[in-house]
Amino acid sequence: MATRVPFKNLAEAERLAKRKLPKAVWLAVKAGNEQGWTLDENLRAFSELGFSPTVFDRPTSFDLRTTVLGMDIDFPVLVSPVGAQAIHPDGEVGVARAAARAGTATGLSSWASDSAEDVAAVNPNTMFQLYWVGKRDQIEARVEAARRAGAKALIVTLDWSHTPRRDWGVPPAPPSSLDLRTMVRLAPEALSRPAWFGSYLRRGRIPELKVPNLFDRMGNVPYFGTAWAEFEATPPPTWDDVKWLRELWGGPFMVKGINTIRDAKLCVDLGADAISLSNHGGNNIDGSPSPLRYLPSVVEAVGDQVDVLVDGGIRRGSDVVKALALGAKAVLVGRAMLYGLACAGEAGAYAVLDILRSGIRETMYGIGRSSIRDLERADLMVLNSDFFVPPTR
């Protein structure tokens, strides 16, 4: 019997996810940084763009298909690589299966709870996302493991700032082991949401927070906390490091976390096939504007040399249309997927993608566009004259 999905839009999914998840888990999902200005700004930017609907020549069919990183997908929404999807027993495998069913690609984080092998087995269009953790030999081993698993593309994420402050509180540090003392410490959180914890027990498992894609030199799978300590101790990659990584992989390659024209041009120079404009969902420098505001400037600078994607704050199909009209090839959706996953597992993840696809079609019907390739900036109304903020570099 199909799982009933208890939400009809992503605002409902967010409210339900907050009620379902233990507080510490919810804080990790909601995330953000410092006062949360950028977290809110990512949503606000979309609200400052509107449409001018038409009543004549409305389309009767829609072509939403596109190609990103060599992968043909049915509509321009990809699942962003988001770590530790053990907020539900279905985890990354459930999200990947939902994405495959929806006809799109899934991103798999280095910090995932499921392995690249397991995820690629259920979605052939899997993109493995790499954080720079450890030495080059460790990174090379992880890249080759993703290649053997069948990953179609490699994403390197460069925009994490390691800022631990949030005005509304931060979750406790993830464990470095799951010994008896740790289990006792975490028990009140788990038991505060018995239905959530019970969903794991019914599967005969517990959310142990291991990260199989960040295996160590001996092939051992570390706990999240152990891997995180190594991440914080690893110097950030240089341009030469990323160039080495691009050559090592050799296939479709995306750099995620770009915020300036200068960095976008450097990505072109190192041979990237795509970039994603991103502030890490509000988790980078608080006070940085939404990538949507400088999307047109970056597209103008490098859009004829590299596919430009964008992520952050996408909650509706109309948001996707706005991004495409400003020049994006496609969008990546992360936090919204977690809301759906928390509410109803794989079925909830699929519902998020279905809601976005329906919203794209409805918006395109309203503005008289039958193909995403026909979308342009003239389809939008700027409600705030200060909307566009060109990058300063």
- 9-15: which pairs have CB atoms within 8 A and are 24 or more residues apart? 9/316, 9/355, 10/315, 10/316, 10/336, 10/339, 10/340, 10/352, 10/355, 11/315, 13/336, 13/339, 13/340, 13/343, 13/348, 13/351, 13/352, 14/336, 14/339
2 within a domain of the structure (yes/no): no
328 within a domain of the structure (yes/no): yes
Average pLDDT of span 212-240: 93
For residue 25, give Cα distances in angstroms to 40, 43, 264, 338, 366. Answer: 20, 22, 34, 11, 39
Q: Which of 21-35, 37-51, 248-262 has the lowest mean pLDDT?
A: 21-35
Q: Which tens digits make up the pLDDT trace of 242-259?
A: 999 999 999 999 999 999
CA distance 123 to 97: 6
- Around Cβ 382, how many Cβ atoms within 10 Å? 12
- What is the number of domains present in the chain? 1
Task: Say whether pLDDT at 178 is over 70.
Answer: no
The pLDDT value recorded for residue 222 is 93
Average pLDDT of span 101-106: 98
Task: Say whether pLDDT at 376 is over 50.
Answer: yes
Q: Which residues does 387 contact at the CB level (< 8 Å), separation at least 6?
A: 45, 48, 49, 293
Compute the mean pLDDT over every residue in the chain, rounded to the nearest whole number: 91
- Give the residue, 68 or 186, on which the prediction is more confident: 68
343 within a domain of the structure (yes/no): yes
For residue 325, give Cα distances in angstroms to 51, 365, 384. Answer: 11, 14, 17
Average pLDDT of span 94-103: 98
The pLDDT value recorded for residue 364 is 97
CATH number of the domain encompassing residue 345:
3.20.20.70
Print the domain residue range for 58: 10-382
144 within a domain of the structure (yes/no): yes
Q: What is the sign of the dihedral through the CA atoms of 239, 392, 35 and 39?
A: negative
What single-letter DSSP state applies at residue 380?
Answer: E
Q: Which of 70-79, 147-156, 157-166, 285-294 has the lowest mean pLDDT?
A: 157-166
Q: Which tens digits make up the pLDDT trace of 261-271?
A: 999 999 999 99
Query: Residue 79 belongs to what H/E stretch?
Result: strand 77-79
Catalogue the active-site residues: 280
388 within a domain of the structure (yes/no): no
- Around Cβ 57, how many Cβ atoms within 10 Å? 7
The pLDDT value recorded for residue 202 is 78
pTM of the model: 0.94
By the 8 A CB rule, do 324 and 314 touch? no
348 within a domain of the structure (yes/no): yes
Task: Say whether pLDDT at 1 is over 60.
Answer: no
3 within a domain of the structure (yes/no): no
Task: Say whether pLDDT at 180 is over 80.
Answer: no
Query: Residue 353 belongs to what H/E stretch?
Result: helix 335-367
45 within a domain of the structure (yes/no): yes
Task: Say whether pLDDT at 184 is over 60.
Answer: no
